[in-house]
Chains A and B, each alone.
Chain A
């Protein structure tokens, strides 16, 4: 499972002549208001690192940043570029839909589809069109990830029947089966109990070592920062301070 070829998409001119563009180039601003509260997100960073950790307290704007990168939140100003592709550029009027950015996104509480089995969840993104994958048929890629994460016996079960660790594995498999260009992780271990947290951290590290996929994680856990933070970014009150 290697990081897939970059898709056709908008590319910056810089990617042509002057060698390879930086992997991540993010500079976004977004003003949010709601419930009588105002929040100003103003995040900018560039990085060539394989593993980036965005670290900060809750309410600092970490999740908003991740959502903007994934295309789930539209910033007011700025740009988001990845490996020479422009996903968002307010000045140029570019805003690629989330479905075209080919990213793997691990949600904090996994966001598994409760009406589908483990196998259907994993194969969800492989199936195009208006119908969900059938309960019986699992493609080769789905079978591969079921085996790799030792989920074979749970293939026909629903998410609510799984343990926390198994849910996370299903969510990871569902993200990876699409061969994303990068993996976005939103507080990946916070939903787990402490004993399991250590083990899943080891699992994720081993997986990332194997598949060499660029990764961007947001967390408020210092242990995650120490383990995965090849490039560390600190965020507070909507701004990156280092």
Chain B
């Protein structure tokens, strides 16, 4: 049974790191797509949304090609820093981040587009610089939508299987997350372990979804 809790702890660590990463990157990308006008904006949006529809195995393969010792990023990291991401929990973080990224991006973009540009202009006339406008007007008016997306992304990252398995493998205690552990348990015929793991995963994801649902519709009332 201890293995189940180790897998849960690892899953929470991986999903937590992936969510933190997506909070920053997804919010920034969502804001850029909502506010900046540049040619090919919708193409960029479509490319960044691809992980939502591509099979996780395809994403895992892309990551292997990119991060493997012979991949251009992985090779560079290994040569200069001795960093090896494949078969590590950090690799699992990257896989989970990539899969969950569009959920933050979509919510953040919609939330930022819902902020009246005139309110930002009013803040500029009142003497604020661009960063201050973002943190004092734009973000406070959009944070509910952003947070709802972040919670969805957390639930998605927690349940990540395909890409994680391809990039990080299934090393018990090191890269074997909940969903991978469930697969292994079922394969090995350990039904008790599988039941417990499934229950833990389900409860955690339902909690995240409930929280996200509470945040999302209230957005219109706040603005």
Contact = CB atoms under 8 A, between A and B. Distances in A.
A176 to B, nearest CB: 11
Nearest to B121: A72
Given A72-B125, A98-B125, A178-B126, 11 more contacts: A70-B125, A72-B124, A104-B125, A105-B122, A107-B122, A114-B222, A114-B223, A115-B140, A124-B126, A129-B132, A132-B140
A131 interface: yes
Given A107-B118, A111-B118, A130-B131, A99 B125 contact: yes
B92 interface: no
Nearest to B141: A115
Interface in A50-81: 67, 70-72
B125 A103 contact: yes
Interface residues of A, number: 28
Contacts of A132: 136, 140
B116 interface: yes
B216 interface: no
Contacts of A15: none
Contacts of B132: 128-130
A130 B122 contact: no
B137 interface: yes
B122 A178 contact: no
Contacts, number: 64
Contacts of B137: 113
B120 to A, nearest CB: 9
B222 A115 contact: yes
Interface string A95-107: 0011101111101
Contacts of A98: 121, 124-125
A214 interface: no
A111 B122 contact: yes
Nearest to A132: B136
Given A113-B137, A115-B140, A132-B136, A99 B129 contact: yes
12 contacts: A67-B121, A72-B121, A99-B127, A101-B125, A105-B122, A111-B118, A113-B122, A113-B137, A114-B223, A115-B141, A130-B132, A174-B126
Given A107-B118, A130-B132, A124 B125 contact: no
Given A72-B124, A99-B129, A131 B136 contact: yes
B81 interface: no
Interface in B173-223: 222-223
Interface of A: 67, 70-72, 97-99, 101-105, 107, 109, 111, 113-115, 124-125, 128-132, 174-175, 178
The A interface, classified by DSSP as helix, strand, loop or mixed, is: loop
B44 interface: no
Contact of B119 (A101, A104, A111, A130): A111
Contacts of A178: 126-127
Contacts of B136: 124, 130-132
Contacts of A97: 124
A132 B134 CA distance: 11
B123 interface: yes
B128 interface: yes
User: Closest 10 interchain pairs by CB?
Assistant: A125-B126, A111-B122, A98-B124, A130-B135, A105-B125, A99-B127, A111-B118, A115-B140, A132-B136, A72-B121
A114 B118 contact: no
Nearest to A174: B126
Nearest to B128: A99
Contacts of B223: 114
Contacts of B141: 114-115
A100 B20 CA distance: 36
B35 to A, nearest CB: 14
A178 B122 CA distance: 13
A113 B119 contact: yes
A99 B118 contact: no
Interface in B98-138: 116, 118-119, 121-129, 131-132, 135-137
Nearest to A70: B125
A114 B140 CA distance: 10
Nearest to B122: A111
A97 to B, nearest CB: 7
A174 B122 CA distance: 10
Contacts of A175: 126
